Amino acid sequence: MKRRRRFWTIVEKLEAAIAQGIYPVGTRLPAERELAEIHQVSRPTIREAIIALEVRERVEVKTGSGVFVTDTKKSESFAKPISAFELTQARALVEAEAAALSAATIQSEELALLKQTLDDMRIAETANAADQRFHEIIAQSTRNNAIVLTINNLWKLRLTEPEIISAHEDVCSQSNEQRIQEHTAIYEAIASHDSSAARKAMHNHFNRLINA
């Protein structure tokens, strides 16, 4: 919880700096190491803050070039409020089918990346980013752009709506080992190319979140 509060503090500070013109539109943000030194936090904390800023459409990450400030303002909230329960229920429906499809389409290099996220989930500073990456890899491995877009939009809600953020922090902070076990079961089913088992494992994961 404490680390997550630090992470959101960095997001707010960087957004304020962008609004004040310290980092004008089109310019590149300082390097990750420099930002970590400026704000006296770890590099993984800066990395998660950048991910959140990218989701909020405040920056654009260009591989090999850096992180650039965009001219797109923070996306407006949805017209009707969406609860953590509703979001998790929707994710269960969409991502269970994505997992089933992934079991049939995933390639060996994607499986290696998926397995690496399980190791990263065991490290406190990278656990949440690894969780997100796990689901992104599964979505991308379906080779279905509509599924990728849908899951990305659901994650956007997950990372930008304060009440949803708070609800997930409470659940995840209490049960990280169980979260790892559930993701491992999903990975093993997909690695075995068993679509039915992958669907069931993903449903089991989200059912716990829904009940919580």
What three-state secondary structure class fits 62? strand
Residue intervals in the chain for CATH 1.10.10.10: 2-69
Residues 58 and 18 sit within 8 Å (Cβ to Cβ): yes
What does R_g of the chain's alpha carbons equal in angstroms? 17
Q: Which of 3.30.300.160, 1.10.10.10, 3.40.50.300, 1.10.510.10 would CATH assign to domain 2-69?
A: 1.10.10.10
Homologous superfamily (CATH) of 84-211 is: GntR ligand-binding domain-like (1.20.120.530)
Confidence of residue 2 (pLDDT cuts 50, 70, 90): very low
From 5-9, 53-57, 188-192, the region with the lowest mean pLDDT: 5-9
Confidence of residue 63 (pLDDT cuts 50, 70, 90): confident
From 35-44, 120-129, 159-168, the region with the lowest mean pLDDT: 159-168
pTM confidence score: 0.63
